Amino acid sequence: MSQERFRQLPSVDQALRDPRLAAMPRGLALRAARAVLTELRRALAEDPELVLPDVMERIIAEAHRQATPRLRGVINATGIVLHTNLGRAPLAPAAQAAIAEVAAGYSNAELDLSSGKRGGRLDGIRGPLQALTGCQDAIVVNNGAAAVVLVLTALAQGREVIVSRGELVEIGGSFRVPDIMAASGARLREVGTTNRTRAADYARAIGPETALLMRVHPSNFKMIGFTERPTTAALAALGPPLVEDLGSGALVPGLGDEPVVGEALRDGAALVCFSGDKLLGGPQAGIIAGQRGLIAACREHPLYRALRVDKLTLAALEATLRLVLAGDLDALPTVRMLRMDPGPAAADLAGRLGELPAPWRLGLESDVGFTGGGALPGEGLPTTVVALRGGDVEALAARLRRGAPPVVARVRRDALVLDPRTILPGEEERLCVALRLALSAEMGQ
């Protein structure tokens, strides 16, 4: 192929002299120019008849793309409160402030300010957890799966753990109980059937090799019909320590039919594992609470060091737990969203949007949202939404996601749905501006 086509492309040095690129950091401009020019040369080699785009516009767009952080805040208009793809629970203002304070400088992460000696990393969360759950002690690792792995590795490696066949579940991200059991070195002993397991099934399986009984809350599905499951108290009475993986981890009653951590401990569970970023409404964390000796064994295991959380997580978790302890639950965005009536907010949002350009029209409709995050499976959240119809809803949803700020909405058949339940206070006007810009971009195509 003639080299003439390649000569139509600017050199990297020529591209960098463009005023728009010259105003950017040189390293960024250089990476963008090289990436685009390399791609275009490859494309020309494959297709000599290729119609070249505006090369500088392509380079500028690539530079802006590289300069934009991959992880950004988005407006969640889906109505899914604990949206896993959107980072689950938004933090309370108090937790945000706690993170900012310890992130801005040094902190007493492992220093006792009273004595001036080394302190415990978990001192700030242990007290609130003891008060809220009645546990003797507690530790925190980086997520719920890590909590289960640590417990099984520290307490049951090389020995048997008895689990109901109906609780050998897979939870998001291919987290399968049998696989986690194998990775920990514990031996799985299945009992019962998929739909019915009794305390007597566990009792018959208990032997010299039994390290733990394990009860796994089916947090992301419901089994109905001809079912049976032993209570915490019934299993705790059998002898070996009972570990309950509670999943979402409700610390207070009233959040659907999710088990409450303190009740499980009072009923005899030796340890409970639960998440910090689901119904608790805090940062991503896996919390292990229960008997002092078992917690100590987990803390002293070498794996704990690899799984422990950093100072930012501890700050956010402590602030969140203190809000729960104070009874200020409405300060937690997750709890507030689960309890709210979205009707007034939907009407307000529709009023802010006003008339839409043709052919679009909007209306208020009844709908159902969900808790998400594997919590409260099958329990819909009755809601009122703003529904937009009349145009290409998939294209509009894509433009909203690519906007600034990105807006993630729900597409339902022929409508783009905005559920105000998950739109945080102060985001309404920004959402309206983003929607108007997305509609204007459509008109300009």
Choose the final residue of a domain: 328, 348, 365. 328
Give yes or no: residues 32 and 114 share one domain: no
Q: Which pLDDT does position 372 carry in this prediction?
A: 81
Q: Give CA–CA dist 242/233, Å, rounded.
A: 10
Please give the structure tokens belonging to residue 402: 């690519």
DSSP letter at 256 equals T
pLDDT exceeds cutoff 90 at 320: yes
Q: Which pLDDT does position 219 carry in this prediction?
A: 61
Give yes or no: residues 204 and 121 share one domain: yes
Give yes or no: residues 201 and 312 share one domain: yes
| 41 Cβ contact partners less than 8 Å away, ≥ 6 residues apart | 6, 9
pLDDT exceeds cutoff 90 at 353: yes
Tally of structural domains, the chain: 3
Confidence of residue 199 (pLDDT cuts 50, 70, 90): very high
Domain contains 110: yes
For residue 31, the tally of other CB atoms under 10 A from its CB is: 14
Domain contains 3: no
pLDDT exceeds cutoff 80 at 87: yes
Give yes or no: residues 165 and 260 share one domain: yes
Q: Give CA–CA dist 157/176, Å, rounded.
A: 18
pLDDT exceeds cutoff 90 at 310: yes
Instruction: Give the up-direction half-sphere exposure of residue 204: CA atoms within 13 A in the CB hemisphere.
Output: 9
Q: pLDDT tens digits, residue range 30-84?
A: 999 999 999 999 988 888 888 888 999 999 999 999 998 888 999 999 999 999 8
Q: pLDDT tens digits, residue range 212-237?
A: 999 998 765 666 767 788 999 999 99
Nearest to 88 by CA among 173, 174, 215: 173
Q: Which pLDDT does position 52 carry in this prediction?
A: 83
Domain contains 1: no
Q: Which pLDDT does position 432 carry in this prediction?
A: 96
Q: What is the CATH number of the domain that holds 362?
A: 3.90.1150.110
Amino acid at 338: L
Q: Which class for 435: exposed (0-12), middle (13-18), buried (19 or more C-beta within 10 A)?
A: buried
Q: Give CA–CA dist 96/85, Å, rounded.
A: 20
Give yes or no: residues 282 and 342 share one domain: no
Question: Which stretch of DSSP H or E encloses residue 76?
Answer: strand 75-76
Q: Which pLDDT does position 262 carry in this prediction?
A: 94
Domain contains 23: yes
Confidence of residue 248 (pLDDT cuts 50, 70, 90): confident
pLDDT exceeds cutoff 80 at 254: no
Confidence of residue 305 (pLDDT cuts 50, 70, 90): very high
Domain contains 307: yes
Domain contains 104: yes
pLDDT > 70 fraction of the chain, expressed in percent and rounded: 94
Give yes or no: residues 185 and 314 share one domain: yes
The values of phi and psi at residue 362, to 5°, are -125, 160
Q: Which pLDDT does position 178 carry in this prediction?
A: 82
**Signed CA dihedral, 152, 158, 159, 163: sign only:** positive
Q: Give CA–CA dist 321/283, Å, rounded.
A: 11
Instruction: Give the up-direction half-sphere exposure of residue 373: CA atoms within 13 A in the CB hemisphere.
Output: 27
Q: Which pLDDT does position 269 carry in this prediction?
A: 97
Nearest to 163 by CA among 211, 221, 224: 211
pLDDT exceeds cutoff 70 at 150: yes
Give residue 275's domain range. Answer: 93-328
State the virtual CA torsion across 13, 15, 21, 27 in degrees, nearest 10. -40
Nearest to 135 by CA among 258, 338, 288, 336: 288
Please give the structure tokens belonging to residue 41: 């040369």
Q: Give CA–CA dist 372/410, Å, rounded.
A: 14
Give yes or no: residues 272 and 340 share one domain: no
Q: What is the CATH number of the domain that holds 243?
A: 3.40.640.10
Nearest to 217 by CA among 253, 183, 264: 264
pLDDT > 90 fraction of the chain, expressed in percent and rounded: 72
Nearest to 252 by CA among 179, 122, 177, 339: 339
Choose the final residue of a domain: 311, 328, 345. 328
* Contact of 283 with 87, CB cutoff 8 Å: no
pLDDT mean over 21-27: 91
Query: If you write DSSP's letter for every residue of 29-43 in order, what string do you get?
Result: HHHHHHHHHHHHHHH
Confidence of residue 169 (pLDDT cuts 50, 70, 90): confident
pLDDT mean over 147-151: 95
Q: Strands, DSSP E only, in 101-237?
A: 137-141, 160-164, 170-171, 175-176, 187-191, 210-216
Strands 286-290 and 271-275, by their bridges, are antiparallel
Of residues 182 and 162, which shows the higher confidence score? 162
Give yes or no: residues 180 and 292 share one domain: yes
Residue 290's DSSP bridge partners are: 137, 271
Q: pLDDT tens digits, residue range 372-410?
A: 865 656 568 999 999 999 999 999 999 999 998 999 999
pLDDT exceeds cutoff 80 at 297: yes
Give yes or no: residues 277 and 182 share one domain: yes
Amino acid at 389: R
* Contact of 219 with 244, CB cutoff 8 Å: no
pLDDT exceeds cutoff 80 at 175: no
Q: Please tell me whether the peptide bond between 405 and the residue prior to it is cis, using omega within 30 degrees of 0.
A: yes
Q: Which pLDDT does position 303 carry in this prediction?
A: 96
If you average pLDDT over every residue of the chain, what do you get? 91
Domain contains 46: yes
Q: Give CA–CA dist 84/75, Å, rounded.
A: 14
Give yes or no: residues 190 and 317 share one domain: yes
Q: Give CA–CA dist 79/402, Å, rounded.
A: 19
Give yes or no: residues 318 and 345 share one domain: no
Choose the final residue of a domain: 299, 328, 357. 328
Give yes or no: residues 316 and 359 share one domain: no
Domain contains 99: yes
Please give the structure tokens belonging to residue 234: 């019934």
Nearest to 375 by CA among 261, 217, 266: 217
